[in-house]
């Protein structure tokens, strides 16, 4: 097992800057997820760690070794690919044993390692089958087994669940989390799916345009986003972001919504908000922080545009002065297609962002502006 350190890692393709001098420290046995939209640099970063992409500049260390110039086979990593990359003419056993045979392990050691991995992944009955005889989930287990037998210092996963259907993705997320508890190896996992990131990660690395926007635990990035980009990326549905103006002063600041209505702020945010008066500001509020029952906070009367029943809860889409919002409510509070609803807001759950930079105002208040 080992730590993984990325220092000023950069990748250029001609004039295109794919990864822009990023820094990241992954602790021993930590499960890190790189997440972001297509083109953000997450897969390129993973491939540089694996040695499949040449580094333009910067440094990668696995444990105490700088691995920049090492071939992939010499980095003591194992990678699980999106398309499984199994040899179709080989059995499951042969696929899992191939890398060990290539490295000239003894037959007894190969048999022991394959048997142990097959037991962990519950694929012992499949060892004599070929890939075409397996389901997608079974093939993914074999691909993971091929990585486990290597006993690497670092596991790398490149969007391993993207080819599976929705139900199987949920099942395999559970399997991967259980696998990490049992094998307890350092993991770097790439996905575009923020639900995967939230459910699997010890810490999430949110990337955008070759840069790291925020690194934090699932709780930190969800409840304390440092930028409006992170706020609008994490969550399903994502955080509502509404352009507002700040009125009042440090003793009693309020938010002016796009339709002119005023929304009071809690006392702790008055001075912070007043400091941004005159600047374009975005107000953020999670869908679940609207309530159909009074909670002692301000109330908004709205006209629902679309109602989406989901069983466990109901999504209510509405607009305020042209800004589109969504609330997540218990089904008992939304019957049919109501003409009007009164939604109560918990002001302590409001987030404020500078509209120009995207940075959370609390960063400025903490002296990080």
Pairing state between β 314-320 and 323-329: antiparallel
Per residue in 286-326, pLDDT (tens digit) is 999 999 888 877 889 999 999 999 999 999 999 999 999 99
Q: Tell me the CATH number at 199.
A: 3.40.50.300
Average pLDDT over residues 204-209: 97
Average pLDDT over residues 79-85: 86
The answer to whether 358 and 229 have CB atoms below 8 angstroms apart is yes
Per residue in 162-181, pLDDT (tens digit) is 888 888 888 888 888 888 88
- The tokens of 230 are what? 């992170």
Burial class from Cβ neighbours inside 10 Å (0-12, 13-18, 19+) for residue 56 reads middle
Distance separating alpha carbons of residues 85 and 233, to the nearest angstrom: 30
The verdict on 233 and 223 lying in the same domain is no
Q: Which residue has the higher pLDDT, 181 or 28?
A: 28
Checking if the pLDDT of 215 tops 90, the result is yes
The answer to whether 172 and 98 have CB atoms below 8 angstroms apart is no
Q: How confident is the model at residue 330 (pLDDT cuts 50, 70, 90)?
A: very high
Q: What DSSP character marks residue 170?
A: H
CA-based nearest residue to 123, from 162, 179, 169, 180? 179
First to last CA, the chain: 37
Checking if the pLDDT of 367 tops 70, the result is no
Q: What is the mean pLDDT of the chain?
A: 92
- The tokens of 256 are what? 């002016």
Checking if the pLDDT of 113 tops 90, the result is yes
Element at 41 (helix H, strand E) = none
Distance separating alpha carbons of residues 101 and 97, to the nearest angstrom: 6
CA-based nearest residue to 234, from 201, 203, 206, 200? 206
Q: How confident is the model at residue 184 (pLDDT cuts 50, 70, 90)?
A: confident
β-partners of residue 316 are 307, 327
Per residue in 254-274, pLDDT (tens digit) is 999 999 999 988 888 888 888
Domain ends where: 227, 249, 265?
Answer: 227
Average pLDDT over residues 201-229: 97
The verdict on 186 and 273 lying in the same domain is no
Contacts of residue 333, Cβ cutoff 8 Å, sequence gap at least 6? 292, 293, 314
The verdict on 95 and 204 lying in the same domain is yes
Distance separating alpha carbons of residues 326 and 238, to the nearest angstrom: 9
The verdict on 155 and 279 lying in the same domain is no
What pLDDT score was predicted for residue 251?
A: 83
What pLDDT score was predicted for residue 369?
A: 36
- The tokens of 102 are what? 């290539």
CA-based nearest residue to 27, from 148, 188, 150, 144? 188
The verdict on 173 and 278 lying in the same domain is no
What pLDDT score was predicted for residue 365?
A: 59
Checking if the pLDDT of 141 tops 60, the result is yes
The verdict on 112 and 14 lying in the same domain is yes
The verdict on 201 and 289 lying in the same domain is no
Domain ends where: 178, 205, 227?
Answer: 227
Q: Which of 16-20, 84-88, 124-128, 243-247 has the lowest mean pLDDT?
A: 84-88
Number of domains in the chain: 2
Place of tokens 């997320």: 173
The verdict on 269 and 332 lying in the same domain is yes
What's the domain range around 331? 229-365
Distance separating alpha carbons of residues 57 and 46, to the nearest angstrom: 15
What pLDDT score was predicted for residue 217?
A: 97
Contacts of residue 45, Cβ cutoff 8 Å, sequence gap at least 6? 6, 9, 11, 19, 22, 34, 190, 207
What pLDDT score was predicted for residue 350?
A: 93
Distance separating alpha carbons of residues 46 and 53, to the nearest angstrom: 9
The verdict on 203 and 288 lying in the same domain is no
Checking if the pLDDT of 192 tops 80, the result is yes
> From the centroid of its chain, how far is CA 263?
31
The verdict on 120 and 239 lying in the same domain is no
Q: Tell me the CATH number at 246.
A: 2.40.50.100
Checking if the pLDDT of 93 tops 70, the result is yes
The verdict on 277 and 252 lying in the same domain is yes
CA-based nearest residue to 185, from 293, 348, 81, 30? 30
CA-based nearest residue to 255, from 345, 154, 146, 152? 345
Domain ends where: 199, 227, 255?
Answer: 227
CA-based nearest residue to 1, from 129, 186, 160? 186
The verdict on 245 and 295 lying in the same domain is yes
Starting from the edge strand earliest in sequence, which strands make up the sheet with 65-66, in order?
16-26, 4-13, 57-62, 65-66
């Amino acid at each position: 097992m080992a730590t993984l350190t990325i220092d000023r890692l950069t990748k250029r393709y001609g004039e295109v800057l794919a990864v822009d001098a990023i820094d990241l420290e992954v602790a021993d046995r930590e499960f890190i997820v790189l997440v972001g939209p297509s083109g953000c640099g997450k897969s390129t970063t993973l491939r540089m760690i694996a040695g499949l992409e040449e580094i333009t500049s910067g440094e990668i260390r696995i444990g105490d070794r700088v691995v920049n110039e090492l071939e992939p086979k010499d980095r003591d990593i194992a990678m699980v690919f999106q398309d499984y990359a199994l040899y179709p003419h080989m059995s499951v056993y042969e696929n899992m044993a191939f890398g060990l045979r290539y490295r000239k392990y003894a037959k007894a050691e190969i048999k022991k390692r394959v048997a142990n991995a097959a037991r962990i992944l519950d694929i012992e009955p499949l060892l004599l089958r070929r890939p075409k005889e397996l389901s997608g989930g079974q093939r993914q287990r074999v691909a993971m087994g091929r990585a486990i037998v290597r006993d690497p210092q670092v596991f790398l996963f490149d969007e391993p669940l993207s080819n599976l259907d929705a139900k199987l993705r949920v099942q395999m997320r559970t399997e991967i989390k259980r696998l990490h508890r049992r094998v307890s190896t350092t993991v770097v996992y790439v996905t575009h799916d923020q639900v995967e990131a939230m459910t699997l990660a010890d810490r999430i690395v949110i990337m955008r345009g070759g840069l790291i926007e925020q690194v934090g635990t699932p709780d930190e990035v969800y409840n304390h986003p440092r930028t409006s980009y992170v706020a609008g990326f994490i969550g399903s549905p994502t955080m509502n972001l509404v352009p507002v103006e700040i009125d009042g002063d440090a003793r009693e600041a309020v938010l002016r919504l796009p339709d002119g209505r005023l929304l009071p702020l809690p006392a702790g945010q008055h001075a912070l908000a007043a400091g941004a008066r005159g600047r374009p500001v975005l107000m953020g509020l999670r869908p679940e922080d609207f309530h159909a029952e009074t909670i002692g906070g301000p109330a908004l009367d709205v006209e629902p545009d679309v109602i989406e029943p989901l069983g466990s809860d109901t999504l209510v889409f509405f607009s305020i002065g042209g800004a589109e919002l969504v609330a997540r409510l218990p089904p008992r509070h939304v019957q049919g297609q109501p003409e009007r609803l009164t939604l109560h807001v918990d002001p302590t759950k409001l987030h404020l962002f500078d509209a120009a930079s995207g940075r959370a105002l609390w960063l400025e208040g903490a002296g990080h502006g």
